[in-house]
Chain A
Amino acid sequence: MLKFFLSRLATFVPTFIGVTLISFAFIRVLPGDPIVVMAGERGVSAERYEELRSQYGFDQPLWVQFWEYFTGVLQGDLGESFITNRPVWDEFFSLFPATMELSIVAIIIATALGLPAGVIAAVNRGKFFDRALMSTALIGYSMPIFWWALLLIIVFSGNLGWTPVSGRIGLLYYFDDVTGFMLIDSLLSGQKGAFTSAVSHLILPSIVLATIPLAVIARQTRSAMLEVLSEDYIRTARAKGLSPGRVNGLHALRNAMIPVITVIGLSVGTLLAGAILTETIFSWPGIGKWMVDSIFRRDYPVVQGGLLMIAVIVMIVNLTVDLLYGLINPKIRKR
């Protein structure tokens, strides 16, 4: 198991270097001189332009700029935002808990509903229930997030008034960040009603963010289950007279889990991407909105640092998924 872990970890290093390079290159490939874009219609004098170039280090050759960035990254220094002059690292960690909270709740919703839905559909293959579930999943998968979010807001917040429109917590509640997770902080604050307010603010955005992963997980579970259910050992188990619940739930599901876990792992990337839109609509102060603003402002350190951090998180999640395979399926461990 240790050997397996180390071999997976070894692939981490070249990927990390690649990601650092890509995140550095990405924002620089975008057309548009950042200084000219920042100045807009007002323009900037040639003198001032040179001053700003040297202030931001753009007068250095690209490889020097990259080397400074890369050595900084190795020391845990992602640079400072051009705009706020605060360290990118600090900004990222002050905003990331909000994104993480939303993503975790979304993935829980997606898995808790998607997994059983897929199993039930597979067991009832071709029947009405299967068809209904799978068409719903297809609709969910093809739903434009922006439209879906607005629809939910208009119906549930606007017309019915059941949920707040946007934000993380009611404006009345006002306390210091402890963990950055609103559900936890609202409990710690001891303010009456704060937790309920945090939960009610989380409902719509997490449903919106869960929609696509939910559909993918349901469909993946169904097809994996169908494949496993046609295997010989399942027929044997049935022939031995095991109850359908035991056959489906224990023997089949465990083997069907491998592709499903892959999908759940991969959907972390999707979630972070989806978070950008979801956060913008629901005024959710996470990294998605922060990244979008920075791209428009050509805030190089934030864009490259933010991209790198997101990539590293996705890599860590995938590494964890790899390790989980090993736990579920001993065959993979030995390979």
Chain B
Amino acid sequence: MTLRTILAASALALAAAGAAHAQQTLVYCSEGSPEGFDPALYTAGTTFDASSHTVYNQLAEFKTGTTEVEPGLAESWEVSEDGMSVTFKLRPGVQFHSNDMFTPSRELNADDVIYSFERQNGEGSWEYFNAMSMPDLIESIEKVDDMTVRFNLTRPEAPFIANMAMDFASIVSKEYADAMEAAGTPEMLNQQPIGTGPFVFEDYQTDAVIRYSKNENYWKEDEPKVDNLVFAITPDASVRLQRLQAGECHVMPYPNPADIDSIKANPDLDLLQQEGLNVGYLAYNTTQAPFDDPKVRKALNMAIDKDAIIEVIFGGQAEKAKNPIPPTMWSYNESIEDDPYDPEAAKKMLEEAGVSDLSMKIWAMPVQRPYNPNARRMAELIQEDFSEIGVDVEIVSYEWGEYLERSKAEDRDGAVLLGWTGDNGDPDNFLAVLLGCDAVGGSNRAQWCNEEFDSLVQEAKTLTDQDARAANYEEAQVIFKDQAPWATIAHSVVFMPVRSEVEGYIINPLGGHLFDTVSLAE
């Protein structure tokens, strides 16, 4: 009798008996199929939900519901004086899962940690590891003793700890990898994952259902709460809602905006919500006249009616953005005042700057993104707003790949609509990546290099004290607002409808879905 028949039989028996201590099975109607189960190979959220958030753990973790980092598989860590090395002390007694092919002979140790990272330095499509510049940053990884690992860095990098809580940094079992390599089936790491996480992978029926069972030996006490976890893959949002209403699942992501009111009205459902870890913006090219004049940029910003955009483009489900980082992120500067919507004043400011008969291009993305569900329509609204102050707008668009490439050019003409979704909850991931001097000609679409801003952000990278870092970032946001390289437009709001019997579900500001703390009321 295989494990799955036992499971099925017991599930049936329990269902038939309607036993008082019935096994709790939580069903999550996920929005898409995972690409695989090795989170280091992929970048899609559906993959992370199915692997790094369920099967695996990382050295550090994000405290549930926040972007703050707390210990995970590492009990503690120490950053050296000069910031050039980080030493992780591993948690003792952590057990890996087992499956039909593999039973671990030992607990988690330094070899697993070193293997998990060193494999990503070799050949293969380790996209996130590369995208986060890990090959340049990590000089070497050292085994201090069985339970201690030291990362030597090429430069001080405070966000490194947050990076260690990211999905690509999931810790895999070296013993399992070796066993599968020896058996000639290394792909099993990606198909039948073995981790230390709250849920044990049982089975995946492609594009249909993923099944997990509770990790009885989980190192966190009292977690997970449910006995079984099932992902019922349901790509269409209307159908997901129907399933939720019919009780075929307990939690669903990404409802249709049009359904929000009916969800709120349904007594069987609860609607959770939170601002997403993203920002949608319009980036001027600050190297080209007249957009090299902050006054012109500010004037244009004041001409944009953001309330109308939130209403029309997001159906009201977004927050007006005033800062380049989202409000759920630490160091978000609350005290900053947004530029008021005032076309009259804007017109006057343009005149004062000596600009008349301005005509410009606005680039509209061809794809739908959480931070901008309809860029074309958004560009049209801004076009209308700008015409009010006598600025003539031509809207241009390219195929997505082209768009991303062409918008990087330093001599690009026009302002670009784009956005960003955070990777590791660290402000550096927005401020340095999108607005730093190094990123000009790349992801800094405003081509904006402000020395004062840049040195604050660069310095923050070398500080180990989070309060000190936050102070730098808060000040950087003041400079950003004053210089206005972007018009900050919106942070989308994430909605999660859950059935009312679901307890303990907390929206993760980093975007993934976590079920270790969730239980079902009887």
Query: A interface vs B, CB < 8 Å?
Result: 31-33, 36-45, 48, 52, 55, 83-86, 91, 94-95, 150, 153-154, 157-158, 161, 164-168, 171-177, 191-192, 280-283, 285-286, 289-290, 293, 297
Inter-subunit contact A55/B125 (CB<8 Å): yes
* Inter-subunit contact B245/A283 (CB<8 Å): no
B residues within 8 A CB of A164?
A: 246, 248
Interface centre among B25, B131, B207, B404 (most CB of A within 10 A): B207
For A32, give the chain B residue with the smallest CB separation. B401
Q: What is the bound-complex CA distance between A32 and B404, given in angstroms? A: 10
30 contacts between A and B (CB under 8 A): A31-B402, A39-B131, A40-B43, A41-B404, A41-B421, A48-B130, A52-B125, A83-B36, A85-B190, A153-B242, A157-B246, A161-B246, A165-B239, A166-B234, A166-B248, A172-B11, A173-B8, A174-B4, A174-B211, A175-B8, A176-B2, A176-B4, A191-B12, A280-B235, A280-B236, A283-B235, A283-B236, A283-B239, A285-B233, A289-B207
| B window 236-291: CB within 8 A of A | 236, 238-239, 242-243, 245-246, 248
Total number of A-B contacts with CB less than 8 angstroms?
A: 139
Is B355 in the interface zone, CB < 8 Å from A?
A: no
Partner of A36, one of B7, B8, B15, B404: B404
Q: Which chain A residue has the least Cβ–Cβ distance from B9?
A: A191
Q: Are B420 and A41 in contact (CB under 8 A)?
A: yes
Whole-angstrom distance between the Cβ of A279 and the nearest chain B Cβ: 9
B187: nearest residue on chain A (CB-CB)? A85
Q: Which label, helix, strand, loop or mixed, suits the secondary structure of the B interface?
A: mixed
Q: Judging by beta carbons under 8 Å apart, are B404 and A43 in contact?
A: yes
Which 10 residue pairs across A and B have the least CB separation, nearest first? A285-B207, A32-B401, A285-B208, A31-B399, A174-B8, A36-B401, A283-B234, A165-B243, A165-B242, A42-B131
Tell me, in angstroms, the Cα distance from A52 to B400 when the chains sit together. Answer: 19
Chain B residues near A85 (CB-CB < 8 A):
36, 187, 190
Asked if B401 contacts A33 (CB within 8 A), the reply is yes
**Smallest CB gap from B133: residue in A:** A45
Residue in B12, B127, B239 whose CB lies within 8 Å of A153? B239
Residue of B nearest to A37 (CB): B401
User: Least Cβ distance of B226 to chain A in Å?
Assistant: 14
B80 to chain A, nearest CB (A): 28
* Chain A residues touching B, majority SS: loop
Residues of B17-39 whose CB lies within 8 A of A: 25, 27, 32-33, 35-36
- CB of B205 closer than 8 Å to a CB of A: yes
B232 within 8 A of A: yes
Closest to A173 in B: B8
**Cβ 8 A contact of B206, one of A94, A280, A297:** A94
Cβ–Cβ < 8 Å partners of A297 in chain B: 35
Whether B443 sits at the interface, judged by CB under 8 Å, is yes
Measured between beta carbons, the chain A residues less than 8 angstroms from B7 are 174
B33:A293 contact, CB within 8 angstroms: yes
Cβ contacts under 8 Å, A39 to chain B: 127, 131, 404
